[in-house]
Amino acid sequence: MKMQVLLFPGQGSQFVGMGKDLHDRHARAREVFARADAALGFPLSRLMFEGPEETLRETRNAQPAILAHSLAVWAAWEPGWKAGDLVGAGHSLGEYSAYTVAGALKFEDALRIVRRRGELMFEAGQRSPGTMAAVMGSDAETVRQVCAQVPGVVRPANLNSPGQVVISGEVAAVRAAGELLKAKGAKRVIEINVSGAFHSPLMEPAAEGLREALAAAEVREAAFPVYANATAEPVTAAEAIRASLVRQLLSPVLWEPTLRVLAALKPAGFWEIGPGQVLKGLLRQMDRELPCRTMGTAEEVQGSEVHS
């Protein structure tokens, strides 16, 4: 079998009702949601299925919800591929989902870590208020140059696709950079409703707590390579996984560079595992010819041509 690429979505893909169809139609998915509720000590699955949306959107809830959804899809789907046929990547939070599917993190540990990650990110945002903004129609190098010119902390945070870069930092600096980018030809700059300046130096207060959470968890060698957000390079070793996950909290998500590296491997297909189809859209912005299937609903799992 030719190589398959598994892609796992990040925060922002959550929605009320996520995973309910999987829960209702697949026993293995039900088991995943029950394990998630037990691991976290509260009914995460009920929050996913019923909301309220405002509570689900909280960073500490959205992150474990998306991870649980992705793992429920994987459990229900069971494509039966060998590890040697797989590579993975995840967008920010999704990198944790990728390592969990690769067997490097136990599911319950991953849930508790991303729950703690969300709390730490929120607390860092309270200590050092910041924001993020999506820049449309400007290239990454222009965005880097503008961020370097603006006083204060502002950095490229997500290199998502050609013409879509997210910047992150202090509120005034992000807004100043946005105005300058529009003056330099950016089509749109849209401020994002987030609780902090994720993937920027303002997350430094969260890094130590995350490092401690990862050190306390068992991390094993990944069964297949996961391409890290911070480097766009494959990672399998346990200590490299820990270091990568701390580094990505402070570093830009190199998503477009990662997709280009994965595309160069000439895989048989890309599969977005989890809620929504954001990553499929970003892949199509880079190359519309690359085959990508979304796997987030019971219907998509049932309709897949790949079965164990």
Could you tell me the pLDDT band of residue 306, with boundaries at 50, 70 and 90?
Answer: low
The pLDDT assigned to 290 comes to 95
Could you tell me the pLDDT band of residue 136, with boundaries at 50, 70 and 90?
Answer: very high
Burial of 132 (0-12, 13-18, 19+ CB in 10 A): buried
Q: Are residues 120 and 134 in the same domain?
A: no
- 72 in any annotated domain: yes
pLDDT above 50 (res 308): no
Q: List the one residue out of 31, 15, 46 whose CA is nearest residue 76.
A: 31
CATH of the domain at 291: 3.40.366.10
Q: What mean pLDDT comes out for the span 229-241?
A: 98
Q: Which residues contact 11 (CB under 8 A, 6 or more apart)?
A: 59, 62, 63, 66, 92, 93
Question: 46-52, long-range: CB within 8 Å, 24+ apart, which pairs?
Answer: 48/14, 48/16, 48/17, 48/18, 48/19, 48/20, 49/16, 49/17, 49/18, 49/19, 49/20, 49/23, 50/16, 51/16, 52/16
Q: Are residues 31 and 80 in the same domain?
A: yes
Token pair 């068992």 in the structure block, residue: 218
Average predicted confidence (pLDDT) for the chain: 96
Q: Which residues contact 70 (CB under 8 A, 6 or more apart)?
A: 8, 9, 94, 97, 101, 273, 274, 275
pLDDT above 70 (res 302): yes
- 70 in any annotated domain: yes
- Region for 195 from its dihedrals, namely left if φ exceeds 0, alpha if ψ lies in -120 to 50, beta otherwise: alpha
Q: What mean pLDDT comes out for the span 46-68?
A: 97
Could you tell me the pLDDT band of residue 1, with boundaries at 50, 70 and 90?
Answer: low
- 53 in any annotated domain: yes
Q: Are residues 19 and 84 in the same domain?
A: yes
Task: Tell me whether residue 92 is one of the annotated catalytic residues.
Answer: yes
Domain ends where: 192, 224, 242? Answer: 192
Could you tell me the pLDDT band of residue 185, with boundaries at 50, 70 and 90?
Answer: very high
Q: Which residues contact 202 (CB under 8 A, 6 or more apart)?
A: 124, 125, 128, 130, 153, 168, 169, 170, 196
pLDDT above 60 (res 44): yes
Active-site annotation holder among 92, 138, 168, 195 = 92
The pLDDT assigned to 304 comes to 78
Q: Are residues 57 and 158 in the same domain?
A: no
Give percent of the chain with pLDDT exceeding 90: 96
What tens digit of pLDDT does each residue of 15-38 get?
999 999 999 999 999 999 999 999
The pLDDT assigned to 170 comes to 98
pLDDT above 70 (res 10): yes
- 308 in any annotated domain: no
| Exposure b/e, 216-245, CB count within 10 A at least 16 = b | eeebeebbbbbbbbbbbebbbebebbbbbb
- 212 in any annotated domain: yes
CB 153 within 8 A of CB 200: yes
What tens digit of pLDDT does each residue of 144-159 get?
999 999 999 999 999 9
Q: What mean pLDDT comes out for the span 185-197?
A: 95
Q: What mean pLDDT comes out for the span 84-104?
A: 98
Active-site annotation holder among 23, 26, 91, 199 = 199
Q: Are residues 272 and 245 in the same domain?
A: yes
Q: How many domains are contained in the chain?
A: 2
Q: Are residues 19 and 83 in the same domain?
A: yes
| Identity of residue 130 | G
Q: Are residues 70 and 185 in the same domain?
A: no
pLDDT above 60 (res 273): yes
What φ, ψ does residue 178 adopt, rounded to 5°?
A: -60, -45
- 144 in any annotated domain: yes
What φ, ψ does residue 111 adopt, rounded to 5°?
A: -60, -50
pLDDT above 60 (res 64): yes
The pLDDT assigned to 305 comes to 61
CATH of the domain at 135: 3.30.70.250
CB 117 within 8 A of CB 210: yes
- 21 in any annotated domain: yes
- 173 in any annotated domain: yes
Q: Are residues 138 and 264 in the same domain?
A: no
Q: Are residues 102 and 135 in the same domain?
A: no
The pLDDT assigned to 307 comes to 40
Cα dihedral 104, 109, 113, 115 in deg (nearest 10): 130
The pLDDT assigned to 169 comes to 98
Q: Are residues 217 and 137 in the same domain?
A: no
Domain ends where: 155, 175, 192? Answer: 192
Q: Are residues 26 and 115 in the same domain?
A: yes
Q: Are residues 152 and 205 in the same domain?
A: no
Q: How far apart are CA 199 and CA 196, in angstroms?
A: 9
The model carries a pTM of: 0.96
pLDDT above 50 (res 62): yes
Q: What mean pLDDT comes out for the span 267-294?
A: 96
Domain ends where: 192, 212, 237? Answer: 192
Task: Tell me whether residue 199 is one of the annotated catalytic residues.
Answer: yes
Write out the residue range of the structural domain in which residue 188 sits: 130-192
